[in-house]
């Protein structure tokens, strides 16, 4: 993991803490004429918190298949492991390709409580909800934009997320409607960017970062996933997808970078519904997820106290 001091990281991620009135949103709008800016501010939708949820953390990347769900699942279980007294939730916002039910081994349909809200399914101490628990894959395949928005809203407002300290949201690939809708309707504590070191991934990831910056969502850090792979014979570590993530982080002024190796144990954990954090809690790979969890807890604690 690479990070500078937590203090300077916080100043970078949450500039509004130091200057609450002159938030980055206003700075961005200041490039417009005052009339245009006023109009835009009026049109911004009101962000409505999710009842009982303290922090919403998005896990995102422009590119598909780089390990967002893997990161989300292992981060959620790591948060529960390093802070057992905290309540952790995991929301699968990928309605077209939900993978949380498989990765968390939760295949039931949720119950409805007296308030007519769905009760999250729980495994490894983490509360989960996914479209995969509500419909069949075939039904999702024919959805159009507005239906997707309706589905996301159902996962957010139609679920009893009450008493959740950290809600991890696994987002779909791309920079589309889902991200816009989440960013515009919810008070997001920040986004964790996941990417591989491959050039093809980095370009798209950069676009994702630009989108979140424009939406004034704080970027909490980057996870370079599948960074290295250890040779089984000589233990030499190879950068499978290249190693340009640090360069991207520097360009984007993001000073927190975590590297997770490419490891078949992680793949098997995803496929078997038993995350590596649960099956190999003392491994070096899990240490990275736990460091990431501790970093986020400390960061958000300080932000809260200010």
Ligand X SMILES: Nc1ncnc2c1ncn2[C@@H]1O[C@H](COP(=O)(O)OP(=O)(O)OP(=O)(O)O)[C@@H](O)[C@H]1O
> Counting contacts by CB under 6 A, is residue 267 touching ligand X?
yes
> Counting contacts by CB under 6 A, is residue 283 touching ligand X?
no
Binding track over 163-182 against ligand X, x by CB under 6 A? ----------x---------
List the interface residues with ligand X, window 3-42 (CB under 6 A): none
Tokens of 252: 């984007």
Tokens of 272: 């078997």
Closest approach of Cβ 153 to ligand X, in Å? 20
Beta-carbon-side half-sphere exposure of residue 242 (alpha carbons within 13 Å): 13
> Does the CA dihedral 11-17-19-22 come out positive or negative?
positive
> Counting contacts by CB under 6 A, is residue 105 touching ligand X?
no
Closest approach of Cβ 154 to ligand X, in Å? 19
Question: Rounded to whole angstroms, how far apart are CA atoms 70 and 277?
Answer: 11
The correct pick among 49, 65, 187, 203 for binding ligand X (CB under 6 A) is: 65
At residue 219, the 3 state secondary structure works out as strand
Radius of gyration of the chain (CA): 19
Strand order of the sheet with strand 219-225? 121-123, 126-130, 88-92, 164-170, 53-60, 190-195, 219-225, 257-260
List the interface residues with ligand X, window 218-247 (CB under 6 A): 225-226
> Counting contacts by CB under 6 A, is residue 70 touching ligand X?
yes
> Counting contacts by CB under 6 A, is residue 62 touching ligand X?
no
How many binding residues for ligand X (CB under 6 A)? Answer: 19
End-to-end Cα distance, the chain: 26
Closest approach of Cβ 262 to ligand X, in Å? 4
Tokens of 219: 């970027």
Residues lying near ligand X in the complex (CB under 6 A) are found at 64-70, 94, 97, 99, 173, 225-226, 260, 262-263, 266-267, 270
């Amino acid at each position: 993991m690479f990070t500078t001091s937590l203090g300077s990281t916080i100043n970078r991620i949450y500039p509004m803490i130091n200057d609450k009135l002159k938030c980055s949103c206003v700075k961005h709008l200041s490039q417009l004429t005052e009339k245009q800016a006023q109009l835009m501010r009026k049109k911004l939708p009101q962000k409505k918190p999710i009842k009982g949820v303290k922090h919403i953390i998005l896990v995102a990347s422009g590119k598909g298949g780089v390990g967002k769900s893997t990161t989300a699942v292992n981060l959620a279980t790591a948060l529960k492991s390093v802070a057992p007294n905290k309540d952790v939730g995991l929301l699968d916002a990928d309605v077209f390709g939900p993978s949380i039910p498989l990765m968390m081994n939760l295949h039931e349909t949720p119950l409805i409580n007296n308030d007519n809200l769905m009760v999250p399914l729980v495994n490894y101490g983490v509360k989960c909800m996914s479209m995969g628990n509500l419909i069949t894959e075939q039904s999702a395949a024919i959805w159009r934009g507005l239906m997707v928005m309706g589905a996301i809203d159902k996962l957010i407002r139609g679920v009893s997320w009450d008493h959740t300290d950290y809600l991890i949201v696994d987002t779909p690939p791309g920079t589309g409607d889902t991200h816009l809708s989440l960013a515009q309707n919810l008070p997001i504590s920040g986004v964790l960017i996941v990417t591989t070191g491959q050039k093809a991934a980095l370009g798209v990831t950069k676009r994702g970062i630009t989108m979140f910056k424009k939406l004034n969502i704080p970027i909490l850090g980057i996870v370079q996933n599948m960074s290295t792979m250890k040779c089984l014979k000589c233990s030499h570590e190879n950068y499978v997808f290249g190693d340009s993530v640090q360069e991207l982080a520097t360009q984007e002024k993001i000073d927190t970078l975590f590297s997770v190796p490419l490891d078949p144990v992680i793949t098997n954990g995803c496929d078997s519904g038993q995350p590596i954090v649960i099956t190999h809690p003392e491994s070096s790979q899990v240490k990275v997820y736990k460091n990431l969890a501790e970093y986020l807890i400390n960061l958000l604690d300080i932000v809260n106290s200010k």
